[in-house]
Structure 1
C-alpha cells in the first residue's frame, strides 16, 4: 500500500495546530496520520509568524495567468526589437549626408 501525498490548506493546518496545542501533538499526529516532525514544523511556523506562517510558501499560479504572462513577455520582446530597429534606422539617417540635388 503506497501513501498518497496529501495537501492541506492554511485553514486546515491552523485547525490541526490549534488541536495539537489543546490535545497534545502525539494524539493529533496519530489522528491525522501526520509525522510528528511535520506537525512540529507547522507549530513553529505558527508560533513565529501566526496564521500567515501556515500559508503555502509558493504561490499557485493559474494556468491562464501563466499563458498571459508568457504572451506579455513575447510582446515586450517584439516591442524592444522594433524600438532597436527604429533607433538604428534613425542613426543611419543622421549619418547620411543630404547634399544639393543634381539636375
Structure 2
C-alpha cells in the first residue's frame, strides 16, 4: 500500500511544534504520524530562522514558465550559432583577395 505524501503549511508545522512543547514530542509525533527526526528538523529550523525556516525550501516551477525558459535557451543557441557563422564568413572574406576582372 502506497502512502500519500502529506503537505503541512508553515502554520501547521508551528502548531505541531507548539503542541510538542506542551504535550511531549513523542506523543505529538504519534498523534500526527510523524517521524521524530522530522519533528526535530522542524523545531531546529524554527529556532534558527523563525517562521521563514518552516516554509518549504523547494520552489515549484510553473510548467508554462519552464517551457518558455527551454524555448528561450533554444533560441539563444540558434542566435549564437548564427553569430558564429557570420563571424567565420566575415573572417574568410577578409582573408580571400578579391580578384578584379580586366576587360580585353
1:1-103 equivalences in 2 (<5 Å): 2-103=2-103
- Structure 1 residue 32: deviation in Å? 1.5
- Structure 1 residue 71: deviation in Å? 0.7
Cα distance in 2 for residues equivalent to 1:12 and 1:83: 54
TM-score by length of 1: 0.84
RMSD: 1.9
Q: Structure 1 residue runs of 4+, over 4 Å off?
A: none
5+ residue gaps, structure 1, are none
Cα distance in 1 for residues equivalent to 2:29 and 2:98: 84
- More deviation in 36-45 or 8-17? 8-17
TM-score by length of 2: 0.83
5+ residue gaps, structure 2, are none
